[in-house]
Structure 1
């Protein structure tokens, strides 16, 4: 018996996960949801550049809800945070566990009807919602939390991500969703109505809340201090021309206040120009613990030496984070699940027929 999986959306990261599902001996792909008309009706193998699977991509939510599946991997387009609640609720009510790669680190962080509706959907369908990914996901809710075990007295914890975005090919994503190429004089990076902020604020405030919950801390509030930096010259990028004086580097910062002082900070540098970085070639992630004792942990990702594909190490890692979460979400009680501190590679799960099906 294997886990029956639906892939929801096939953008850059969704396609990477789709390949991981198709390639994994303990996972059976049973459905694919796509947004674009050009992908509708294609075999999933065509989308993933794999042999035909017999699974045909659909744009019908009803078709997906009707499937017999254990898990839906939700890799939706970024939008205002919470805008995908209705479809996630429908998936949970249909009895399918949901793994999101775009937030939902700790839905219970939000008081009121939103979290209650998500939890009730899980209870109704006997299903569980959990997040998986790199950030949010691995670097904060897992790596930073585990690293905190090195200190007896923690003053603060900082989670820093540095992403070179020059490889992004989609103009709509780079110049629209992420805010590159904007006029710094005409945007307020802390305006909750600006597109990138509306997509990211709730997602990463929730991630700060998840870290705090794992550390047994009670947040007073989460404050933002977002910053944008301008390009010193024109930049020819794969997604198009970024003009001098427009945004070439965004630094998104969320700080959790505990007992009146800054305690947990998530800082994300997305950049196509390294002028304003502290160092020209920073690590992908860095966790900085200030405490007794303190610690600094830096992490980079590398592709397998034999891999000659165009996929990046980050795409492979997202797929791994999701795939390694499947047994965890299937074993969890119905409702809302903060990401487990450890979701390791499992040799028994990696063997065909070794996995236990979801109940």
Structure 2
């Protein structure tokens, strides 16, 4: 089977997804939406550093809505508040296109009220589904951590700790305005829901914990934040600019899911520009700790294929892989808001024709 795919946005993660679609034998790129004027009108292959594919990038949403496609990979940049991309996603769903998001929508059915009703109505109108895919949200919490509990006779607590070195991020607007680096810690409360970065992330990770709770059949009471920030111990020069000493250089985002009034699920994410406040030097990408009977400890890193000298990181490749492997699931799902399945493994059958051609070449 061939899946007709539209790529929405071509930032670092979006471009990785675009390349993955172009390279996959069971995927056909049929459309490309971009935000930058410098990319509009260019062949998608040129943007992806691939041979021309005959698909021209556009900034016209109406052109995208008019296309016939099985799925849209929605990679718009994180922006406050959470849900700020709903308007585009609603139109895509209503136009008959399933949507996979890398920035949230892990369990939008968790919410009540007008937002959920609008998403459900768009799915009904288009006969489509909305699902999240990616690494975190996605692979780390909703899949790996939940599966690790499969050996437990009793479960006390599940914690996922992610550590991300942000020094290579190049976009100053994203680093300083969206993520909040360089701000004066004395001027904001990281646990106030109106603080810009928190307003972009809180809803997203509340859904992550809700999805984990759904898989574990835990009655989630609420999600509480316990965000912590750390100031730079010295001036820090990194790709996006300079963070002066005393300004925000490390955020430890923490969300606790309460069950029966007690924290049972925790998502902890370290975004750092300086190693001074890390729990331990050179942390893995993820640490999963399941406290129970018995307990489980996992340490997980991603690595590139041997000989791959491209500038694309293992994390970017991982996001693209997670999205591709989720496409058959969102296409096959009944219309509505879909929680990502516990397993969305690599699909060898989608590569079978290519492998057979190579074997007989």
State the TM-score, normalized to the length of structure 1.
Answer: 0.97
In 1, the alpha carbon distance for the partners of 2:293 and 2:218 equals 17
Structure 1, 211-220 or 187-196: larger mean CA deviation:
187-196
In 2, the alpha carbon distance for the partners of 1:90 and 1:124 equals 10
Question: Is the Cα–Cα contact under 8 Å of residues 2 and 353 in structure 1 kept in the other structure?
Answer: no
Shift of residue 167, structure 1, vs aligned partner = 1.0
Q: How big is each residue's C-alpha offset from its partner over 1:240-279, in whole Å with a ceiling of 9 and x where there is no partner?
A: 1111111110000100100010110000000011111110
State the TM-score, normalized to the length of structure 2.
Answer: 0.96
User: 2:359 corresponds to which residue?
Assistant: none
In 2, the alpha carbon distance for the partners of 1:334 and 1:125 equals 8
Question: Is the Cα–Cα contact under 8 Å of residues 4 and 28 in structure 1 kept in the other structure?
Answer: yes
In 1, the alpha carbon distance for the partners of 2:56 and 2:74 equals 17
User: 1:31 corresponds to which residue?
Assistant: 31
In 1, the alpha carbon distance for the partners of 2:100 and 2:110 equals 18
Give 1:238-277 correspondences, 5 Å limit. 238-277=239-278
Aligned to 1:228, the other structure's residue is in SS state: strand
Please state if 1:97 is matched with 2:98: yes
In 2, the alpha carbon distance for the partners of 1:160 and 1:111 equals 28
Please state if 1:148 is matched with 2:149: yes
In 1, the alpha carbon distance for the partners of 2:188 and 2:55 equals 44
Can you give the 5+ residue segments of structure 2 that lack an aligned partner in the other structure?
356-361
User: 1:127 corresponds to which residue?
Assistant: 128
User: 1:196 corresponds to which residue?
Assistant: 197
Aligned to 1:251, the other structure's residue is in SS state: strand
Shift of residue 197, structure 1, vs aligned partner = 0.6
Q: How big is each residue's C-alpha offset from its partner over 1:112-148, in whole Å with a ceiling of 9 and x where there is no partner?
A: 2211211121121111100000000000000011001
- CA-atom RMSD, angstroms? 1.1
Structure 1, 315-324 or 47-56: larger mean CA deviation:
47-56
Please state if 1:169 is matched with 2:204: no
In 2, the alpha carbon distance for the partners of 1:349 and 1:147 equals 28
Question: Is the Cα–Cα contact under 8 Å of residues 155 and 291 in structure 1 kept in the other structure?
Answer: yes
User: 1:16 corresponds to which residue?
Assistant: 16
User: 1:106 corresponds to which residue?
Assistant: 107
**Count of residue pairs brought into register by the alignment:** 354
Shift of residue 353, structure 1, vs aligned partner = 8.1
Aligned to 1:135, the other structure's residue is in SS state: helix
In 1, the alpha carbon distance for the partners of 2:313 and 2:283 equals 17
Shift of residue 352, structure 1, vs aligned partner = 4.5
Aligned to 1:137, the other structure's residue is in SS state: helix
Q: How big is each residue's C-alpha offset from its partner over 1:268-316, in whole Å with a ceiling of 9 and x where there is no partner?
A: 0000111111101111001110100001111001111110000000000
Aligned to 1:350, the other structure's residue is in SS state: helix
Relative to its length, the structure with more helix (as a share) is 2
In 2, the alpha carbon distance for the partners of 1:39 and 1:344 equals 33
Structure 1, 116-125 or 134-143: larger mean CA deviation:
116-125
Aligned to 1:349, the other structure's residue is in SS state: helix
In 2, the alpha carbon distance for the partners of 1:29 and 1:240 equals 36
Shift of residue 66, structure 1, vs aligned partner = 0.1
Please state if 1:66 is matched with 2:66: yes
Shift of residue 150, structure 1, vs aligned partner = 1.4
Shift of residue 46, structure 1, vs aligned partner = 1.2
Q: How big is each residue's C-alpha offset from its partner over 1:76-100, in whole Å with a ceiling of 9 and x where there is no partner?
A: 1212111111211111111100000
Please state if 1:7 is matched with 2:7: yes
Shift of residue 350, structure 1, vs aligned partner = 2.3
In 2, the alpha carbon distance for the partners of 1:25 and 1:156 equals 42
User: 1:236 corresponds to which residue?
Assistant: 237
Aligned to 1:209, the other structure's residue is in SS state: helix
In 2, the alpha carbon distance for the partners of 1:300 and 1:113 equals 39
User: 1:50 corresponds to which residue?
Assistant: 50
In 2, the alpha carbon distance for the partners of 1:194 and 1:22 equals 38
User: 1:357 corresponds to which residue?
Assistant: none
User: 2:139 corresponds to which residue?
Assistant: 138
Please state if 1:335 is matched with 2:347: no
Question: Is the Cα–Cα contact under 8 Å of residues 26 and 353 in structure 1 kept in the other structure?
Answer: no
